[in-house]
């Protein structure tokens, strides 16, 4: 199990504040109280071990500890507070038993209520690991209400688990090859703000070496309620035969607040490390791994509750523990802040924390603060009996 150090958290928080400047505020935005995004990475399979399983957990932990320095590409969104990553499952011993022990499984299940998102790096036959009704019931509650990022072989399973198939929207149908191939942006959902966030900072195409997978009917997948595709595999780009419509990355939101993202990429360990991809002549990204890692970062951020409307809002109001959302809107040079309690203090601060203005709410309702001309991006902070909430106002 791995936790970020306090020093790493503080450094990441400061970097996060500096990198919020590029976002736009549009209309009224609901923002939950700033808090760490809590990420759980689970290691272990019910069948076949992949080279990426051990490497992935450590690489994700490192990437989230300092995303600004992780070479993730342009237009990076960082949360108002840090990520806190925890690693669950088997120990880092390649070739060791891939099945987690009862104690390791229990530790993971017991921690679910304290996590915002779980990442499953090629956990093949996940249903074999968690095959008891009470285990699956707890996981299914998480699927419906929190965030799940599923990679590559995690879609593969041999035991019957309807909720697992339903969440993914399709079934694994076989391996094609380990070879160089191209994935391309799928534009059918390009007007969706989530689609834009998940593709933020990514090129339209990327070509790299991985193990490429085949799934069930693309028509059935695309018809799944709420499911939208972000990337598709170019069926003519590798040494394999596949359908002309081959979705490869997709996402969906559930009525209870859950968010799910799947990518077929992530089999090879080199995709997580930031090093050049081995034996991958023809890669169009340098290195190709940075495409995959940025895609993974965007997915974790979104699945944990982030949106691209100008403020990163962790844990939307529909999720447990979100608290009362903070609502802010801008009219001309005035910033309007909706407060829920009397005597709450509304502060306007520069990004470095210096206080620009402060007002106390005489009652619950809207508080207005004048935004000085030329002040640049600012932070709005509301301090009350129930804690502190923060949001960013762009220039």
Q: What are the structural domains, with CATH classification, of the chain?
A: 6-26+34-303 (3.40.50.880), 326-393 (2.60.40.10)
Point out the least confidently predicted range of 131-145, 244-258, 303-317: 303-317
Given pLDDT bands bounded at 50, 70 and 90, which one contains residue 92?
low
Question: Residue 204, SS3?
Answer: coil
> Using only C-alpha atoms, what is the Rg of the chain?
22
Given pLDDT bands bounded at 50, 70 and 90, which one contains residue 40?
very high
Compute the C-alpha angle 48/54/59, nearest 5°.
140
- Look at residue 274 in the predicted model and tell me its pLDDT: 63
- Look at residue 23 in the predicted model and tell me its pLDDT: 34
Structure tokens at 31: 């923002």
User: Which parts of the chain fold into alpha helices (H)?
Assistant: 6-18, 52-65, 102-111, 126-129, 133-145, 162-168, 193-198, 218-222, 270-273, 289-303
Residue 180 and residue 222 in contact, taking contact as beta carbons nearer than 8 Å? no
Structure tokens at 319: 């999720």
- Look at residue 18 in the predicted model and tell me its pLDDT: 38
Residue 133 and residue 55 in contact, taking contact as beta carbons nearer than 8 Å? no
Given pLDDT bands bounded at 50, 70 and 90, which one contains residue 39?
very high
Residue 41 and residue 119 in contact, taking contact as beta carbons nearer than 8 Å? yes
- Average pLDDT, whole number, for the chain? 77
- Look at residue 259 in the predicted model and tell me its pLDDT: 94
Share of the chain above pLDDT 90, in %: 23
Given pLDDT bands bounded at 50, 70 and 90, which one contains residue 308?
low
From residue 81, give the alpha-carbon distance in Å to each of 84, 287, 295.
10, 29, 20
Instruction: Please state the rounded mean pLDDT for residues 53-65.
Output: 87
Highest mean pLDDT among 66-70, 170-174, 336-340: 66-70
Point out the least confidently predicted range of 13-17, 217-221, 356-360: 13-17
Task: Tell me the per-residue pLDDT of 251-294, one tens digit each, with 9 for 90 and over.
Answer: 999 988 899 999 999 888 888 876 554 344 444 444 445 789 99
- Look at residue 380 in the predicted model and tell me its pLDDT: 80
Task: Tell me the per-residue pLDDT of 120-138, one tens digit each, with 9 for 90 and over.
Answer: 998 888 888 898 999 999 9
- Look at residue 394 in the predicted model and tell me its pLDDT: 61
Question: Residue 19, SS3?
Answer: coil
- Look at residue 160 in the predicted model and tell me its pLDDT: 76
Task: Tell me the per-residue pLDDT of 151-194, one tens digit each, with 9 for 90 and over.
Answer: 988 887 666 788 888 899 888 877 888 888 899 999 999 999 89
Partnered with residue 259 across adjacent β-strands are: 147, 253
Distance in angstroms (rounded) separating the CA atoms of residues 346 and 390: 10
- Look at residue 177 in the predicted model and tell me its pLDDT: 84
Say how many Å lie between the first and final Cα of the chain, rounded: 41
Distance in angstroms (rounded) separating the CA atoms of residues 235 and 244: 6
Distance in angstroms (rounded) separating the CA atoms of residues 25 and 310: 5
pTM: 0.71
Question: Residue 160, SS3?
Answer: coil
Point out the least confidently predicted range of 121-135, 234-248, 277-291, 366-380: 277-291
- Look at residue 49 in the predicted model and tell me its pLDDT: 65
Highest mean pLDDT among 15-19, 48-52, 173-177, 381-385: 173-177
Given pLDDT bands bounded at 50, 70 and 90, which one contains residue 50?
low
Distance in angstroms (rounded) separating the CA atoms of residues 271 and 277: 7
Given pLDDT bands bounded at 50, 70 and 90, which one contains residue 312?
very low
Length of the chain: 395
């Amino acid at each position: 199990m791995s936790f970020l150090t306090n020093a790493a958290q503080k450094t990441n928080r400061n970097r996060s504040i500096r990198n919020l400047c590029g976002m736009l505020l549009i209309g009224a935005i609901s923002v939950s109280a700033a808090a760490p995004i809590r990420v759980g990475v689970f290691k272990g399979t019910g069948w076949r071990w992949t080279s990426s399983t051990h490497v992935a957990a450590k690489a994700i932990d490192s990437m989230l500890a300092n995303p600004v320095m992780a070479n993730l590409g342009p237009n990076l969104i960082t949360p108002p507070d840090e990520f806190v990553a925890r690693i669950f499952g088997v120990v880092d011993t390649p070739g060791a038993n891939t099945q987690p022990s009862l104690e390791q499984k229990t530790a993971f299940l017991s921690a679910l209520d304290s996590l915002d998102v779980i990442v499953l790096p090629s956990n093949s036959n996940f249903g074999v690991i968690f095959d008891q009704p009470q285990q699956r019931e707890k996981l299914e509650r998480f699927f419906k209400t929190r965030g799940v990022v599923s990679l590559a072989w995690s879609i593969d399973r041999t035991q019957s688990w309807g909720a697992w198939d339903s969440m993914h929207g399709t079934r694994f149908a076989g391996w094609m090859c380990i070879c160089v191939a191209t994935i391309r942006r799928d534009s059918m959902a390009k007007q969706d703000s989530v689609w834009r966030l998940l593709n933020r900072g990514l090129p339209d195409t990327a070509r790299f070496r991985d193990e490429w997978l085949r799934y069930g009917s693309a028509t059935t997948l695309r018809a799944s309620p709420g499911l939208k595709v972000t990337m598709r595999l170019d069926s003519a780009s590798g040494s394999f035969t596949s359908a002309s419509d081959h979705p490869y990355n997709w996402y969906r939101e559930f009525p209870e607040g859950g968010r799910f993202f799947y990518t077929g990429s992530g089999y090879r360990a080199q995709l997580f490390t930031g090093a050049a991809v081995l034996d991958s002549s023809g890669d169009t990204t340098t290195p190709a791994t940075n495409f995959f890692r940025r895609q993974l970062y965007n997915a974790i951020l979104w699945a944990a509750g982030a949106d691209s409307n100008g403020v990163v809002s962790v844990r939307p109001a529909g999720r447990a523990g979100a608290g009362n959302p903070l609502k802010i809107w801008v009219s001309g040079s005035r910033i309007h802040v909706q407060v829920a309690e009397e005597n709450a203090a509304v502060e306007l601060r520069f990004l470095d924390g210096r206080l620009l203005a402060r007002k106390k709410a005489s009652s619950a309702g809207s508080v207005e603060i004048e935004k000085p001309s030329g002040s640049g991006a600012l932070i709005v902070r509301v301090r009350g009996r129930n804690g502190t909430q923060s949001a960013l106002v762009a220039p």
